[in-house]
Amino acid sequence: MNWIDEVFQIIMSSFDQVFFPANSIMLKLSLQFSEPELFALMILDRNGQMSMTQIGEQVHVPLSTATGIIDRMVKRGYFVRERDESDRRAVYVSLSSEGAKTAQLIKDLSRCKIEEFAKSLTESEKATLIGIIRKFLVSNAEMALKQEADIALASNKEKKSIKVE
């Protein structure tokens, strides 16, 4: 097995253990919410009030899917939907107090897991880990931009020009 396969296998086999250990609150949350719902919850926690379109873009789903996610979360009391008084067509979504409590619980549990793990690391290993994670995220962002550029280029090549006389 090459090192890429080994890293992939470690991450995939450990993901549940790290974030959703048996009998944990995180496991219960993962059973209570879909991934896009949890993602939307954490995006709203980070960004505050957002439009429906912004949430769809951040969760990487079409507006119709984002609307379904938001409808479910509003109905369950985690999100609040508000119309803009100056433009009644504009709809904004924010966390309810229950949504904010849930987001804080997720952040606290995640921090505890990281703190627990960090106890076994030296300061040098912590610095190395942070550097690797940052490099990984920058690389992913660069790859995403390149893929978008490749898609745009490919779609432009598919367009045919028609000579008009």
| Helix, strand, or coil (residue 95) | strand
Report the share of the chain in percent with pLDDT over 90. 38
Where exactly are the structural domains of the chain? 33-120, 122-157
Compute the average pLDDT of residues 117-142. Answer: 87
What local confidence, expressed as pLDDT, does residue 49 receive? 96
What's the chain's average pLDDT?
82
- Give Dmax over CA atoms of the chain in angstroms: 75
Alpha carbons within 13 angstroms on the beta-carbon side of residue 112 total 12
Kindly state the tokens that stand for 138.
């920058």
Evaluate if residue 158 carries a pLDDT over 60. no
The separation between CA 116 and the C-alpha centre of its own chain, rounded to angstroms, equals: 23
CATH number of 33-120: 1.10.10.10
- What is the value of pTM for the model shown? 0.69
What local confidence, expressed as pLDDT, does residue 122 receive? 94
Compute the average pLDDT of residues 124-140. Answer: 87
